[in-house]
Amino acid sequence: MKGKKMIGNTEFQGKQKVIGLLNELQIGIGDISKVTGVSTRQLRYWEKKGYIQSLKTKTSQTRKYRLAEVYRVLMIKMYLDEGYNLAKAVEKANTTHKQLALLRKFEKLIASVEVTDQENEYGRINLQSTDKKQKVTGVLDESGSYFEVEDK
């Protein structure tokens, strides 16, 4: 079974494999603190308040964080830097988190992505709804960005 990856009882392949592997990542509190600029003291405090979560098992008493938690910490930190208090920053981060989750679901609308100009990073994104009654293409080229709509 080449190109596949077993995680638990589930087998992943292709994009799912990549996502599976990324979700397997476990980051220590020192590293997450270093990259986010949030102190270990804060991270432990936030966890105590229930704002973030870590994987603390019975065997190893050290905290490990999933990649999703790194994003969460970064977002909280971002809103904190913008002047929000901790509670409000967490609230904003949770909202952003949900928006990003929804955004990922919208990937299903993308039928294909074409890079038309490597140099300038121009391209076309073809959107296809499940009823296949409409086809919308988002275009990015030298004239700007626009949509092409086609009814079927």
Partner DNA sequence: TTTCTTACA
Partner DNA sequence: TGTAAGAA
Among 5, 16, 26, 45, binds DNA (CB under 7 A): 45
Residue 96 binds DNA (CB under 7 A): no
Among 4, 11, 21, 31, binds DNA (CB under 7 A): 31
Q: Which DSSP string corresponds to 50-87?
A: TSS-----SS--S-EE-HHHHHHHHHHHHHHHTT--HH
Distance spanning both ends of the chain, measured CA to CA: 41
Least spacing, CB of residue 55 vs DNA, in Å: 10
Residue 44 binds DNA (CB under 7 A): yes
Q: How many residues bind DNA (CB under 7 A)?
A: 16
Residue 28 binds DNA (CB under 7 A): yes
Three-state secondary structure call for residue 14: coil
